[in-house]
Amino acid sequence: MKVLLIAPNVDGTDVGEAFVAFKWAEALGARVDLTLLSFERPGRVPLAEQLPGVRVVTWPEPALVRRHERLNAMLKPAWPLFAHRVRVWLTAALGRGETFDIAHQLMPQAARYASPLRHFALPYVIGPLGGALDTPAGFRAEMGSAPLFTRLRGLDALRFRWDARLRASYSGAACVLGVAPYVREVLGAVPLKRFQAMLELGIDDAPAVSRPVPESGRLRLLHVGRGVRTKGLRDVIRALALLPDLPGLTLTSAGAGEEIALCQAEAARLGVADRVTFLGQLPRDQVEALYLSHDLFAFPSFREPAGGVLYEAMRSAMPILTAARGGPDFIVDDACGFRIPVTTPGQFAHDIAACLRQCAADPALLARLGGAARTKVLAQGLWATKTEAPLDLYRDLTGCPTYPTV
Query: 376, 335 in Cβ contact below 8 A?
Result: yes
Residue 73: per-residue pLDDT: 54
Per-residue pLDDT of the chain (406 residues; tens, 9 = 90+): 999 999 999 999 887 889 999 999 999 999 999 999 999 988 899 999 999 999 999 999 887 665 555 555 556 788 999 999 999 999 999 999 999 999 999 999 988 899 999 999 999 999 999 987 888 988 988 887 555 455 556 677 788 899 999 999 999 999 999 999 999 999 999 999 999 999 888 888 777 888 877 888 889 999 999 999 999 999 999 999 999 999 999 999 999 999 999 999 999 999 999 999 999 999 988 999 999 999 999 999 999 988 888 988 999 999 999 999 999 999 999 999 999 999 999 999 999 999 999 999 999 999 999 999 999 998 888 887 888 899 999 999 998 887 765 4
The residue among 405, 110, 384, 363 whose CA lies nearest residue 217 is: 363
- Going by C-alpha positions, the residue among 217, 247, 204, 222 that lies closest to residue 298 is 222
Residue 204: CB partners within 8 Å, gap ≥ 6? 382, 383
229, 211, 262, 223: which is closest to 150 by C-alpha?
229
Chain Cα centroid distance, residue 340? 19
Half-sphere CA count of 122, side-chain side, radius 13 A: 26
How confident is the model at residue 74, as a pLDDT?
A: 57
| CATH topology classification for 2-202+382-398 | Rossmann fold (3.40.50)
Contact criterion met (CB below 8 Å) for 167 and 347: no
Q: Is 105 helix (H, G, I), strand (E, B) or coil?
A: strand
Other CB atoms within a 10 A radius of the CB of residue 306 amount to 23
User: What is the pTM assigned to this prediction?
Assistant: 0.88
Cα–Cα dist 197/138, whole Å: 28
Chain region(s) in the chain for CATH 3.40.50.2000: 2-202+382-398, 219-380
**Strand locations in 257-336 (E):** 276-278, 296-299, 320-323
Query: What ranges make up the beta strands (E) of 66-138?
Result: 102-105, 124-129
Picking from 380, 405, 37, the residue whose alpha carbon sits closest to that of residue 179 is 380
CATH of domain 219-380: 3.40.50.2000
Task: Please name the helix (run of DSSP H) or strand (run of DSSP E) that holds residue 249, with its range, or none.
Answer: strand 249-254
Give the number of C-alpha atoms closer than 13 A to the C-alpha of residue 146, restricted to the C-beta side: 16
Q: What is the pLDDT of residue 379?
A: 87
